[in-house]
Amino acid sequence: MLFFKSIISFLKDKQYRDLLFTTFLILGMGMFIYHFLEGWSYVDSLYFSVITLTTIGYGDFSPQTDAGKLFTIFYIIIGLGMILSFINTVYEHYANAKKKE
């Protein structure tokens, strides 16, 4: 129950909603650009974007074109901080909600 309360309170806060929107925007941008640069499906492109920006990096996909490699460099620099900030914010929000109960 605490989990659902945390999600609802998270979505009510404008700052958190903006962070969520920016995170989805960055992931969506990566998905579309990898789809067109590398010719991957949308699912594979989204998968690669999430795996790359969360620093998991399984290695099952990697850009093969020069344009894809250059985009990946800038994508990591721009997106990594945003994704990690989002993950940290969600964790802190949940931890604070748990402390209040």
User: Is 30 domain-assigned?
Assistant: yes
User: Is 6 domain-assigned?
Assistant: no
What residues contact 27, with CB distance under 8 A and at least 6 apart? 46, 49, 50, 53, 79
Instruction: Please list the pLDDT of the chain residue by residue as tens digits (101 residues).
Output: 666 776 777 778 777 788 888 889 999 999 999 999 999 999 999 999 999 988 888 889 999 999 999 999 999 998 888 878 878 887 887 787 778 76
User: Is 48 domain-assigned?
Assistant: yes
Would you report the helix, strand and coil content of the chain in percent, each value rounded to 5? 80, 0, 20
User: Is 69 domain-assigned?
Assistant: yes
What residues contact 58, with CB distance under 8 A and at least 6 apart? 51
pTM to 2 decimals? 0.77
Query: What are the backbone angles phi and psi of residue 53, rounded to the nearest 5°?
Result: -75, -20
Q: What is the pLDDT of residue 2?
A: 65
User: Is 28 domain-assigned?
Assistant: yes
Q: What is the CATH number of the domain that holds 76?
A: 1.10.287.70
The domain in which residue 76 lies consists of 15-100
